[in-house]
Amino acid sequence: MISSTHFLSNVFLSLKKYEDPRTSSWPLMSSPLPTLAVCLVYIFLVKFVGPKLMQNRKSFNLREVLIGYNFFQVAFSSWLFYEFCASGWLTGEYSFRCQPIDLSTNPRTIRMVNVTWWYYVSKFTELVETVFFIMRKKFHQVNALHVYHHGIMPLSGWLAARYYPDGHGTFPGLLNTFVHIVMYSYYLLSAFGPRIQKYLWWKKYLTTMQMVQFVVIMVHALQLFFVDCNFPRIFVWYMGLLALSFYSLFSNFYRTAYRARKLKN
């Protein structure tokens, strides 16, 4: 326990030199502990407390709530995607090959820093999705992939907003918000019930889109090992390995959920 604490302390101290002064005073940015606490409480609640509370209860009918929630997520993701584009990625001012961190306070850069912080906030709103699964007794959807993905993303968003809120490391946010527009649009339409659900033949392609997303993020991050770019290598490793872990879990889910089902038919 002492060695683990010592290790984490050393990691935190080694990262201190990369802290972005522009976000240091922003809400939840001074320390990773509140975000880490939320992640740990989330995992404990959705894996142990929630299912036990709902075990002997009838499932909730949340149709209207789900429509409202998914509409909000589509709108929020759309705004985030637009801001990532307008702040640099689709303005011609950002390079997909190498975009160093800009520590200036010019309006365009601050706009990117701002949307990165809001992207971090969006990871908290996504945790509510798991609560709805539990309230509807969809326990099979609260699997290891789902909990790992949702449980780690707030902390990942915190790292981005605290250490690299603009530049090369914001590319995953651009791609992820686009995927979430499509994903939450599917959930929104599905919430309207069987009359709409029968037309939603493209569900399995959501998983394919997510896997392609992680491959692109890996390639985009790891190319910096071969390009001279003023971007910290430690975060290149982090983005690449996180994307690899997600790809592995999503590809395993795809094989289990779709290919095995196809063999049965």
Question: Could you give the residue numbers annotated as active site?
Answer: 149
- Complete DSSP assignment for 128-196: HHHHHHHHTT-GGGS-HHHHHHHHHHHHHHHHHHHH-SSSGGGHHHHHHHHHHHHHHHHHHHHTT-HHH
Q: What is the residue type of 248? A: S
Among candidate residues 145, 142, 149, 146, the one with its CA nearest the CA of residue 49? 142
Burial profile 173-187: b = 16 or more Cβ within 10 angstroms, e = fewer: bbbbbbbbbebbbbb
Task: In whole angstroms, give the CA distance from residue 10 to residue 131.
Answer: 35
Give the Cα separation of 138 and 26 in Å (integer). Answer: 36
Question: Residue 224 is which amino acid?
Answer: L
Cβ neighbours for 70, distance < 8 A, ≥ 6 positions apart: 184, 185, 187, 188, 191
